[in-house]
Amino acid sequence: MNNQLPNIFIKNKHFYLVFIFLIHLSIYAQRGYYDAPYKRYEANLGQLSNGATVTSKSYVQADLQSEASDQQCVNLSATNATVQWTITEAAEGLVIRYSVPDGQSATLGVYNGNTKITTLTLTSTWSWEYLWSNGNPNNNGITNQNPRMRFDEVRYKLPAKIPVSGTLKLIRETGNIHLDFAEMEPVPTAITAPSGSVTYTGNGSNLQAFIDQNGGSKIYIPSGVYNVSTELYFGVNNTSLIGAGMWYTQINFTATSSGNGGLRGNATNISFSDLYLTTNSTSRSNSYKAINGVFTSTSTIKNIWAEHFECGAWIAQYNVGGPAIADGFTLSHCRFRNNYADGINLCKGTSNAIVEHCNFRNNGDDDQAIWPANGQECINNTFRYNTSENCWRACGLAIYGGKNNKAYNLIIKDNLEAGIRVSNNFDGAPFSNDGSHEIYDITITACGTFNDTYNNPVAAVDIFSASNAGTQVKNVQLYNLDILDSRNDAISISKRSGDGIYNLSFNNITINGTGKEFPFNNALNRDWGRGYFVLIASAPNGNATYCNMNFANRGGNATTNENTSGAGTFSWSAGSGCSGTSVVPVTSVTVTPTSATLNIGATLQLTPTVLPSNATNKSVTYSSGNTGVATVNASGLVTAVSAGTTIITVTTVDGNKTTNCAITVNTTPSGNYYTIKNRWTNNYLYDAGANVGYGATIANNNYKWQKVAIDATYYVLQNVGTGDIMNIENLTGAVQCTAGPTTWWSAQWSSENVDGTWVRIKNRWQTGSMIHIENLNGSAQYVGAQNNWESAQWLFETAISARIGMNNEEEQIATENNSLVTIYPNPSTNNEFYISMPELQSDDVATITITDINGRQVLINRQKGSGKITHNFASGIYLVTISSNIFNTSKKLIVK
């Protein structure tokens, strides 16, 4: 069994826990497009700088981020706003999912580390659908007036791979940008013309004529962009269209009228592969599919990437002269994204088809649908190992009739409406009396809504009867489903019209989290319950059985796990010999300890106790009321950051029960302290304000550093005097010393031995960088050093945390007094600020020394107590050192 997680970053903790559980059960195979060649880098998990900010998580349809992955994205609209990631696999194929306001465009710089590669233009041309007013007949009656499809994608093949542990950096250049994620993949070499093929040498304008002239052949299209003004029709048996690869051969359909785009098959053994298909069309236009027509048992459609069509693929016979139905073909490793309707629809009698290892994203109707239209029954079709995400209308998987169809090992995620739908809502062949549909081994996350496009509520799994293709939905088995963080109800069984639902079964269903939209997205102000694990409504006739239904974290305003008040005569009952439903809710939580005092850099493990002891879900989350004082990780490990107080809150995943631990952080770091001496000049590194400076004499605690271990290799260097950390986050050329989290790779260092005494201090993020003072410009540098430079070689010397010469009692007194020294206002305005300090003895005087970011002394003053300091400093950051016989501390001062 392959234990690799699917190539999507899973930010939802509960989703992750369930997934790990499934991986350890050998009965489960991989779910979703697990072997996709790309890896995702979520924007909100990247390193942000220059005003880049993460949006709040929101399920509110009016909020842009409700259409983003995991309902969060990053605002890059500030000048030079930056997001960057460390690459985990060498790759040069880049895809960026973004949003810019309707009618606007923007530009984004792409960098390999600090080397600019290109500028990409981001456009709203293909996004922002206003369904209630765009005139398409498929949108008649739409009442939900929230825009949809607010995101689009741009792709770019870099001239060379970014290596493993290299940096992909994106910098806003112009416009208002929200970034959802980037994906990177290694691009294979271009495919050459297959043996026996004919090669097209035109520019696209005569491609249809070339296809007609070479019917029955393998037609190869080399690398390039080909503009085509008509649909390409394949009416001769045994014809194949082959490109050089999805990253090389692009066919762009320039006509925007109905029926003038895409590839249509109408013969036996028609195959398409290794193409990127695009259009100039900017909204839903019927009969404008990327792949259209009928395909037979020897047909293959693979490695097709299609965007901005009406549909990715619509499989049905709408012509004459070809096969009556599509039968027995395979479609695999395709990407149908950013289209205005379905991802793929197996329609009008399509049978024995397999759709596998595909990605469907940001489409405007069912991603994977089986529709026996025109009374032609669809039989024995299979969807497997596919990922559906960010579908903004309808659902990720839909079965509208037929028999013996299967869908399994899927991921359906972040859809604005239903995740799975089973109904007879459209004209066609009804659900068959014999055979059954099987839907299993599927994860459905963040799906369902209280207001779909018609302002109707739909569940993550939405099953209902209508009267358009018979009057019954029947013979459907759903098992091994994980329904997570549903926006509304998890499962809904209802009757809109017709008779009802018969022979429906659920087995091994895990539901964790419901009602995430509540109290929002209620345009009609309905006073209805939301967030049920199971809702049965409108009195359908029929029956359903369930077995092993596991519920946790009911949300919304639902007051019971199951609402069967609208079941009428519908039978909802446990199957024979099964455990039915089993949930033990959480009643309370406590934490040990309830309070603690830590020194800077110290850690504390919190231990929660969840009651009752047999609660079904005993998971908890942790948060800090002030991460500038102390942080806490997902395991409850608290790390003291700077002096102050904060509250660590422990919250149960089930029931949102809370308890607190009060944390007080003293000014003195714990552990071992070091001075860091240079081999070339014998100078010592110190916190000089914004940057790390170097000086010949250890003047105060700003010259002393604590190693905060990250793991067996990497550590953070935290200044004893200021509590700030050494980093290169902003890539200014100088080593910085600023406030920041220890999770920054830019603030993590390792020691590389030179000999038994001296080491090179190397950065984790910029792996080729090491600290040096070769240029003697006042600040420590990190760029361009060579291993043999003595200016890049350092010695860690053990130090104490207070002034040299103090005994333990004096050191303790000095530490306590240091915490009482403050400067205000900060930032300083009107060329003045105040220093507050403890009362001095009659023979003592406080010396105030102020240095700029280059280490130059700009003011020295002496005073007998608290008072005002006047100055004429330019705007910037300064270091204020205040020392006396009873304290010695440094503060950073910002001057505006």
Q: What is the pLDDT of residues 197-239, one digit of tens each?
A: 999 999 999 999 999 999 999 999 999 999 999 999 999 999 9
CATH code of the domain containing 700: 2.80.10.50
Tokens read off for 206? 């005569």
560 and 484 within one domain: yes
Of 197, 198, 250, residue with least CA distance to 223: 250
Higher per-residue pLDDT: 706 or 224: 224
Give residues with Cβ within 8 angstroms of 792, minimum separation 6.
760, 770, 771, 772, 774, 785, 786
Tokens read off for 617? 């879900």
Local confidence band at 805 (pLDDT 50, 70, 90 cut-offs): very low
The answer to whether the beta carbons of residues 890 and 880 sit under 8 Å apart is: yes
Structural domain contains residue 7 = no
Report the relative pairing of strands 491-495 and 534-537 from DSSP bridges.
Answer: parallel
CA distance 668 to 719: 10
Structural domain contains residue 333 = no
Which residue type sits at 12? N
Structural domain contains residue 5 = no
Structural domain contains residue 6 = no
| 495-515 confidence digits (pLDDT tens) | 999 999 999 999 999 999 999
Residue 208: its H or E element: helix 207-213
310-330 burial string, b = 16+ CB within 10 Å, else e?
bbbbbbbbbeeebbebbbbbb
| 551-562 confidence digits (pLDDT tens) | 999 999 999 999
Report the relative pairing of strands 571-574 and 759-763 from DSSP bridges.
Answer: unpaired
Give residues with Cβ within 8 angstroms of 391, minimum separation 6.
343, 360, 361, 362, 363, 364, 365, 366, 367, 415, 416, 417
DSSP letter at 139 equals G
Q: What is the pLDDT of residue 845?
A: 82
Q: In what order do the strands lie in the sheet with 630-632?
A: 603-605, 637-640, 630-632
The answer to whether the beta carbons of residues 484 and 14 sit under 8 Å apart is: yes
CATH code of the domain containing 92: 2.60.120.260
CA distance 604 to 439: 46
* Mean pLDDT for the stretch of residues 261-278: 98
CA distance 542 to 121: 55
DSSP letter at 852 equals -
CATH code of the domain containing 857: 2.60.40.3080
622 and 548 within one domain: no
Q: What share of the chain is helix, strand, coil (3-state, %, to 5)?
A: 5, 45, 50
CA distance 278 to 257: 14
664 pairs with which residues across the strands? 597, 645
What backbone phi and psi angles, to 5 degrees, belong to 859?
Answer: -165, 135
Of 315, 320, 275, residue with least CA distance to 295: 315
Average pLDDT score over the chain? 90
739-764 burial string, b = 16+ CB within 10 Å, else e?
ebebebbbbbbbbeebeeebbbbbbb
Q: What is the pLDDT of residue 855?
A: 59
Of 139, 683, 701, 34, residue with least CA distance to 409: 34
Higher per-residue pLDDT: 538 or 22: 538
Structural domain contains residue 217 = yes
CA distance 721 to 259: 71
> What percentage of the chain carries pLDDT values higher than 70?
92
Tokens read off for 317? 């016979």
872 and 723 within one domain: no
CA distance 339 to 304: 14
Cα pseudo-dihedral 214, 220, 224, 225, rounded to 10? 50
Q: Is residue 727 predicted with pLDDT exceeding 70? A: yes
CATH code of the domain containing 595: 2.60.40.1080
Provide the 10 A C-beta neighbour count for residue 431.
29
77-115 burial string, b = 16+ CB within 10 Å, else e?
beeebbbbbbbeeebbbbbbbbbbbeeeebebbbbbbee
> What pTM, to 2 d.p., does this model score?
0.67
What backbone phi and psi angles, to 5 degrees, belong to 828?
Answer: -80, 140
Give CA 313 to chain center in angstroms. 27
| 9-39 confidence digits (pLDDT tens) | 333 433 333 333 333 333 335 899 999 999 9
| 619-677 confidence digits (pLDDT tens) | 899 999 988 788 898 878 888 777 788 999 999 988 888 999 999 887 554 456 889 99
663 and 675 within one domain: no
Structural domain contains residue 469 = yes
Structural domain contains residue 814 = no
Q: What is the pLDDT of residue 795?
A: 92
Local confidence band at 815 (pLDDT 50, 70, 90 cut-offs): low
Say if residue 255 is exposed, middle or buried (CB neighbours under 10 Å; 0-12, 13-18, 19+). middle
Q: Is residue 70 predicted with pLDDT exceeding 80? A: yes
Say if residue 130 is exposed, middle or buried (CB neighbours under 10 Å; 0-12, 13-18, 19+). middle
The answer to whether the beta carbons of residues 115 and 794 sit under 8 Å apart is: no
SS3 assignment, position 822: strand
Among residues 543, 560, 581, the one where a domain terminates is: 581
549 and 401 within one domain: yes
Which residue type sits at 6? P
Kindly list the distances between the CA atom of residue 588 and the CA atoms of 242, 622, 654, in Å, as whole numbers in the listed order.
62, 15, 10
Of 594, 691, 604, residue with least CA distance to 650: 594
Q: What is the pLDDT of residue 854?
A: 60
Q: Is residue 731 predicted with pLDDT exceeding 50? A: yes
Q: What is the pLDDT of residue 769?
A: 93
Kindly list the distances between the CA atom of residue 567 and the CA atoms of 526, 534, 550, in Å, as whole numbers in the listed order.
20, 11, 21
232 and 90 within one domain: no
Q: What is the pLDDT of residue 602?
A: 72
456 and 596 within one domain: no
> What percentage of the chain carries pLDDT values higher than 90?
70
Radius of gyration of the chain (CA): 32
Say if residue 11 is exposed, middle or buried (CB neighbours under 10 Å; 0-12, 13-18, 19+). middle
632 pairs with which residues across the strands? 638
CA distance 437 to 451: 28
CA distance 180 to 54: 10
Q: What is the pLDDT of residue 828?
A: 83
The answer to whether the beta carbons of residues 700 and 888 sit under 8 Å apart is: yes
The answer to whether the beta carbons of residues 691 and 675 sit under 8 Å apart is: no
721 and 613 within one domain: no
826 and 771 within one domain: no
842-867 burial string, b = 16+ CB within 10 Å, else e?
eeeebebbbbbbbbeeebeeebeeee
Local confidence band at 740 (pLDDT 50, 70, 90 cut-offs): confident
* Mean pLDDT for the stretch of residues 871-883: 82
Q: What is the pLDDT of residue 611?
A: 83
Handedness of CA 741, 747, 753, 754 (dihedral sign): negative
Among residues 130, 155, 185, the one where a domain terminates is: 185
Among residues 135, 151, 185, the one where a domain terminates is: 185
Report the relative pairing of strands 218-221 and 167-174 from DSSP bridges.
Answer: unpaired
| 28-67 confidence digits (pLDDT tens) | 358 999 999 999 999 999 999 999 999 999 999 999 999 9
| 339-358 confidence digits (pLDDT tens) | 999 999 999 999 999 999 99
Of 743, 664, 751, residue with least CA distance to 710: 743
* Mean pLDDT for the stretch of residues 849-869: 78
Structural domain contains residue 192 = no
How many Å from the N-terminal Cα to the C-terminal Cα in the chain?
A: 61
Q: Is residue 801 predicted with pLDDT exceeding 80? A: no
Query: Residue holding tokens 């860690």?
Result: 796
452 and 486 within one domain: yes
| 382-413 confidence digits (pLDDT tens) | 999 999 999 999 999 999 999 999 999 999 99
Q: Of 627-636, 720-729, 799-808, which range is least confident?
A: 799-808
Q: What is the pLDDT of residue 361?
A: 98
Which residue type sits at 804? I
CA distance 700 to 889: 7
766 and 723 within one domain: yes
Kindly list the distances between the CA atom of residue 489 and the CA atoms of 57, 472, 520, 545, 648, in Å, as whole numbers in the listed order.
19, 22, 14, 19, 32
The answer to whether the beta carbons of residues 500 and 465 sit under 8 Å apart is: yes
What backbone phi and psi angles, to 5 degrees, belong to 808?
Answer: -60, -40
The answer to whether the beta carbons of residues 694 and 702 sit under 8 Å apart is: no
Instruction: Give the residue numbers spanning the domain of 235.
Output: 198-323
| 96-148 confidence digits (pLDDT tens) | 999 999 999 999 999 999 999 999 999 999 999 999 998 888 999 999 999 99
The answer to whether the beta carbons of residues 686 and 664 sit under 8 Å apart is: no
* Mean pLDDT for the stretch of residues 450-471: 97
Question: Domains in the chain: how many in total?
Answer: 6
Residue count of the chain, please give it: 896
| 360-381 confidence digits (pLDDT tens) | 999 999 999 999 999 999 999 9
595 and 572 within one domain: no
Of 363, 358, 418, residue with least CA distance to 382: 358
* Mean pLDDT for the stretch of residues 426-445: 96
Residue 809: its H or E element: helix 808-818
